[in-house]
A = this chain, B = another copy of it.
Amino acid sequence: MIGFKDLEQKLKDNGYKTTKQRRAILQVLYENVQRFISAEDIYNKTKEKFNTTNFSTVYRNLEILERLGIIHKTNIEDGISVYELICHREHHHHIICKKCGKTEIIDFCPFENIEHILDDKGFEATEHKFEVYGYCSKCKSDV
């Protein structure tokens, strides 16, 4: 597991300054480990911590964090992107609760099962996506 200090350090190491807004965004992400949250949610929660924060600032920082490999961006539903702190170093996939947004890591990657298929086809894979959507044990009772 990665600590909050590590995150701030990684930013510093890469020449980024420590601003109040940036720290607040990082805190929000840190408090939502294992949960995909939207830019809007991040913006709102960041505002609670430090009320002069702007959408541009949020997006600009999310872009930096993604570039540094600190967060992971995906499109769960049409059009909207969601973000999550990367707290595990290994490649992995997710189970995602459509109600509360909670994610869990699946300890299985289907890629190795199809590598030979891709080789046969002469297909050069660059990325793959495996995600399971549904309702977690907590949420499935009250759907």
Assess whether A3 is interfacial by the CB under 8 Å rule.
no
- Which of B79, B104, B108, B134 is the one whose CB lies under 8 Å from A110? B108
Residues of B within 8 A of A14 (CB): none
| Contact residue among B95, B117, B124, B131 (Cβ-Cβ distance under 8 Å from A118) | B95
Q: Which residues of B contact A78 (CB under 8 A)?
A: 73, 75, 81
Contacts of A137 in B (CB 8 A): 121-123
* Chain B residues with CB under 8 A of A117: 106-108
**Interface flag for A130 (CB, 8 Å):** yes
Known: A114-B108, A140-B122. A130 touches B129 (CB 8 A): yes
- Contact among B81, B108, B114 for A132, CB-based, below 8 A: B114
Asked if B125 and A132 sit within 8 Å, CB to CB, the answer is: yes
Complex Cα–Cα for A75 and B79 (A): 8
Measured in the bound complex, the distance between the Cα atoms of B18 and A15 in whole Å is 60
Q: Is the CB of B110 within 8 A of A130?
A: yes
Chain B residues near A95 (CB-CB < 8 A): 118, 121, 123, 125
- Chain A contact residues, CB within 8 Å of chain B: 73, 75, 78-79, 81, 95, 97-98, 104, 106-108, 110-111, 113-114, 117-118, 121-137, 140
Q: Which 9 pairs of residues, A with B, have the shortest CB-CB distance?
A: A122-B137, A110-B110, A125-B134, A126-B134, A128-B132, A124-B140, A127-B133, A130-B130, A75-B75
